[in-house]
Amino acid sequence: MPGFVKSALVLHQADYNSNIRELHKHADDIVAERRRNPDPTANDLLNTMINDADPKTGEHLSDENIRFQMVTFLIAGHETTSGMFSFAMYYMLKNPRTFVKAREEADAAIKKANGNLLNINPADLKYIDAILKEALRLQPSAPAWAVAPRNEEGQFLPGGYHVAKDQAVFVFLPMLHRDPKVWGPDPEEFRPERFLDGTKIPPDAWKPFGNGQRGCIGRGFAVQEGVLAFALMVARFDIEMADPAYDLTIRQTLTIKPANFKIIARPRFGAHQSILEELIASANGSSEQTSATEAKVDAAKSASTGANGEKIYVLYGSNSGSCQGLAKELISEGDKRGFDMRLGELDSVAGGGVLPTDAPVIIVTASYEGQPTDNARMFVAALTENKDSDSLKGAKYMVMGAGHHDWEATFHKIPKFIDRRLAELGAERLVPLSLADAGEDIVGDFEAFKARVWKHFGSTGEEAVPEDGDQPFVLLPRSANMAAPALGCGIETAGTVVSQEVLTHATSDSPQTNMVTIQLPKGQVYRAGDYLAIFPKNPQSTVDRALQHFGCHNEDTVSFNRPTSFFPRKVPMRIGDLLSSFVELGQPVSKKVLPLLSEYSDNEAKAHLKTLEGNYTRDVIAPRLSLLDIVLTTPGCKPPLEVFLANLPKMRIRQYSISSTSLESPEVVTLIFTVHTAPSVTGDRVLGVASNYLAFLQQGDDLLCTVKGSAGFYLPADPSVPVVLFAAGSGISPFVGFIAERALMAEGGRKVGRTVLYYGTRTPAEIVRKDRFAQWVKDGVLEMRPTLSRSDAKEIEALPGVTFLPEAKYVQDRVWEDRDDMAELYNAGAQYYTCGSGRRLGNDLKQTLVKILAEKTPEFNNQSAESIMERLARERYRTDVFM
């Protein structure tokens, strides 16, 4: 045996022995503590092992024996139950209808127990019990056990097989549990209904807990513990697969469990829910107490209740927070109009595809490359699977959809599907589908939708005069300054900047590119392909211009006496904080605001505003003309501060693709980003809010951020699968993480398929991380094929061995030049990934790939471009296209 192998085994054994010693010491300490401080009232297993004696011999267990029993209970109980949970979670998420049923059952059981978690009756959780049993049928944590004949002559088995005395025969449970004679024609299907009342399972057909006297002694406890714990999980969290495309693979240790199976669990009732606190409250309170769960459901559903008002549900699907913000705006406005408004996520309230029928439902949702948002996936899946054309009779709805016109092939796909499908299933459409374009005037589109909503419900929009008097807005003296309310748009965790690096400096033709390294908030981890969502602040120079124009000081304090869409009522705050963090100062002004500004303008300014309104796309959207730009450059337009603030959009979170791999450091991420600036009509520079915020952060600075999963934009689970990466500009960011991960896998001895990178920039100077790319190319883990749209360079010194084709100016041009290799990669099972601008990369590249496949791949002969593109997108092609 080679010396290094012996050394590795010795080190491994030493580590193993150290772990065993630590486990034994911990057990011994527990026993010693109980012996020093006996607790006769403790009705636990430890007391039983210490105090009870053998009824025949009178002997007690030794401390060593107790230690071994404790270790056995710990490992056997943990490994098997955790494996059961993991498999059950996998199968449930793969079959969303079962999640919906489990949640409904858990909610009902908790309600029946009056919110006292200690009073939940496991008998009320029959479907969850069936889910766990069905998971154990398909994937028992301990997948085999042995039996042997004890009689001298042995045993003859059916088929004439003879087994001698004491000869072990292993029973492989996954095969036993798939016998079609017992389980029917679909034994591979996950169908918990097999275990519900009325279904009889033949003896010995289901044996996940072992057999005979050596069967699991903790079976009853495991089932009861598992049912209760699983019920709390589905009741408390919105759960989804981190990788929706994940297919089950098995990892074997002491038992078996899913390999690399990750989920995303979001608190269903807010970030601060605490099951521990409720258990304590339940233990101290009576069964007649108000249900804590119901109270939180009500809080999640209803922002407030109008006096005797008509009930309206507003359900949203949102990833970045935009549609959630629009939904909350509807809630706020409806409350002021006297309606009983109820807010919720689509999956939380209608994950089974069933809308409430006791009140109208307003749905606000978006598409992401033709896919539903993270919190609308179950809802859309349920609508897709539903075949009953009368199942939604009695429901009334209206849909507001958001999207961006640069995703031409999938523009508004999900909102349109929801609107059409609800009608097909019998629901009544109250108003025609409304659609908003984030590439145009999304605020104006939403304002038009709100007008249709309130017109339908017959609301005049008149508000009662607040008790405070007629003034909706008060500018308070500086001495009234109080702590600003918490800001964060749903992000409440802070990361810390580790370093900031300028990768490329700005020139007359190219923007600056930076890389920031961030320590994640405590407890957060990530995978290559995830996003980091941040809550930015407006550039201080922009804030200062607004303060100067309105004659305010950064420390002045404002308070809103009337409810607004998002400003808190009667909460004094520094106006500097408000302008910095609450509102978007750089967003294009909404078209619906322009007529309002005319009320505060002279004739010349009114004419100018009319021109802007008539040429809105050219004169406002294209130059990104903001409300602040207008008031600064139009002397005759003088809206008061309260009008200015009321017509600014709320600050929203931004998502950046992570450019690192967790294999290097699971708690530290890097972001590669372009620092956006542009000429302004005011003579200053238009500064991109988030990119400039990130660029000015320094080592040690904190920022509000959180990891968010992507919609399936992850590397294949099998690293031997070839990948082809297409990037433009800062779209290189996630691919740096992808390549780093595959390089580390190759370094560790894994078989890694070809990694081909097409990287489009304008000049060689814009190529970032040249040192890392050069090393990966040298190591043979990367094939790099860059394109330069404004350079004829054939090679550059920093990237030896990398060839440029001057005639191929864009990624799609180079791909066409490599069409034979592209066809070869496709036939080898390659997966394709695109990250960059939808306008300049996504559509043209897809068309090029379709053309190559049509010409070079026999299986696509005589197929239309649309069918090829649809199949490519469904099976091989992943996009992360930004605007």
Q: Which residues are annotated as a binding site?
A: 216
Closest CA to 100 of 423, 386, 454: 386
| Conformational region of residue 118, where left means phi above 0, alpha means psi within -120 to 50, and beta covers everything else | alpha
Closest CA to 487 of 571, 577, 412: 577
* CA distance readout (Å), 796 to 509, 510, 770, 772: 19, 18, 10, 15
Closest CA to 610 of 624, 595, 600: 595
CB atoms within 10 A of CB 803: 10
* CA distance readout (Å), 676 to 514, 586, 592, 838: 11, 12, 27, 17
Is residue 812 within a helix (H) or strand (E), and if so which, with residue range? helix 811-817
Q: Which tokens go with 314?
A: 């507003």
CB 401 within 8 A of CB 386: no
How deeply is 594 buried, as exposed, middle or buried, from its count of CB atoms within 10 A (0-12, 13-18, 19+)?
buried
Task: Give me Rg for the CA atoms of the chain.
Answer: 31
Q: How far apart are CA 362 and CA 359, in angstroms?
A: 10
**Using the 8-state DSSP alphabet, how is residue 658 labeled?**
B
Token pair 């605020």 is found at 443
Give me the count of residues in the chain: 883
Angle between helices 96-112 and 377-385 (to 10 degrees): 110
DSSP string, 3-68: HHHHHHHHHHHHHHHHHHHHHHHHHHHHHHHHHHS--TT--SHHHHHHH-B-TTT-PBPPHHHHHH
DSSP 3-state assignment of 405?
A: coil
Q: How far apart are CA 401 and CA 347, in angstroms?
A: 16
Q: How far apart are CA 711 and CA 372, in angstroms?
A: 9
Q: Which residues contact 369 (CB under 8 A, 6 or more apart)?
A: 407, 410, 711, 879, 881
Nearest-5° Cα angle at 833, 830 to 835: 165
CB 826 within 8 A of CB 858: no
Nearest-5° Cα angle at 242, 238 to 247: 115
Q: How far apart are CA 80 and CA 141, in angstroms?
A: 5
Q: Which tokens go with 353?
A: 């595809």
Q: Which residues contact 228 (CB under 8 A, 6 or more apart)?
A: 120, 122, 125
- Beta strands 755-761; 723-728: pairing state: parallel
Closest CA to 784 of 848, 843, 726, 715: 726
Which residues contribute to the annotated binding site for heme? Answer: 216
Q: Which residues contact 118 (CB under 8 A, 6 or more apart)?
A: 279, 282, 283
Q: Which residues contact 182 (CB under 8 A, 6 or more apart)?
A: 201, 202, 205
Token pair 């469990």 is found at 257
Nearest-5° Cα angle at 697, 695 to 699: 125
Please provide residue 805's backbone torsions phi and psi, each rounded to the nearest 5 degrees.
-110, 100
Token pair 């964060």 is found at 488
